[in-house]
Amino acid sequence: MSFHASILSLYPEMFPGILGQSLSGRALERGDWVLDAHNPRDYAADKHRSVDDTPSGGGAGMVLRADILAKAIDDVADTHDPRPKLLMSPRGRPLTQAYVRDLAAGPGAIIVCGRFEGVDERVIEARGLQEVSIGDYILSGGEVAATVLLDSVVRLLPGVMGNKESGETESFETGLLEHPHYTRPAEFEGRTIPEVLTSGNHRLIDEWRHEQAEKLTQERRPDLWQNYCKKAQK
């Protein structure tokens, strides 16, 4: 069964967007995964199709209403739908490569894209929404975050990447950042390709790449390096 992603967004026309291009786009055309987008405004009862209201207790901005969003979620997924219900949110669990792999191994996801000040807490609780964050910053809405999540997941689906090894050696897959890459020309503005990469000795090449990955991780992501060292000691 194909990975099935359902998006709930006030701007469903944003999808597939860039997900309709390149690897994810070709996979979408082949049916390797399925994408549909739904507008919560279609479930509003008033003539203005209102989906938000002022925050209880006062404050700036507006909040997406629980009742309307719940109707949209229930229409997209019945009680037997096995897909996790996700809410793109800056306060959610970080989107990591390990989590991406878990999602890619599943049946798909229902993804709610927040807007305004956020979503009424009651619908998060009542529908079991799992909050997911792509970073410690604020976006105008969850659509970009949902696109990032889906792009990272779709590329791991069977048959999407032509070279399986390419995905297995990328940053975060091994707990390290990826090693530097080089290609022709042999010299560029006085800079040459490291000699080991043209030696033909694959053992030395693998060792060099691993050393470079460790060095980059230690320099640029001490948090990752610390975790990597802890796992290596076990």
Tokens 């996700």 belong to residue: 86
pLDDT in tens, 6-55: 999 999 999 999 999 999 999 999 999 999 999 999 999 899 999 999 99
pLDDT computed for residue 169 by the predictor: 57
91 burial via Cβ count (<10 Å: 0-12, 13-18, 19+): exposed
pLDDT computed for residue 170 by the predictor: 65
pLDDT computed for residue 36 by the predictor: 98
Q: Is 164 left (phi over 0), alpha (psi -120 to 50) or beta?
A: alpha
pLDDT computed for residue 164 by the predictor: 60
30-46: buried (b, 16+ CB within 10 Å) or exposed (e) per residue?
Answer: eebbebebbbbeebbee
pLDDT computed for residue 216 by the predictor: 97
pLDDT computed for residue 1 by the predictor: 77
CA–CA gap between residue 15 and residue 58 (Å, rounded): 33
Using a cut of 0.75, tell me whether the model's pTM lies above it.
yes
pLDDT computed for residue 49 by the predictor: 95
Per residue of the chain (234 residues), give pLDDT as tens. 799 999 999 999 999 999 999 999 999 999 999 999 999 999 998 999 999 999 999 999 999 999 999 999 999 999 899 999 999 999 999 999 999 999 999 999 999 999 999 999 999 999 999 999 999 999 999 999 999 999 999 999 999 997 664 556 566 888 999 999 999 999 999 999 999 999 999 999 999 999 999 999 999 999 999 999 998 887
pLDDT in tens, 55-74: 999 999 999 999 999 999 99
Nearest to 176 by CA among 229, 119, 111, 123: 229
**Domains in the chain and their CATH numbers?**
3-154 (3.40.1280.10), 169-233 (1.10.1270.20)
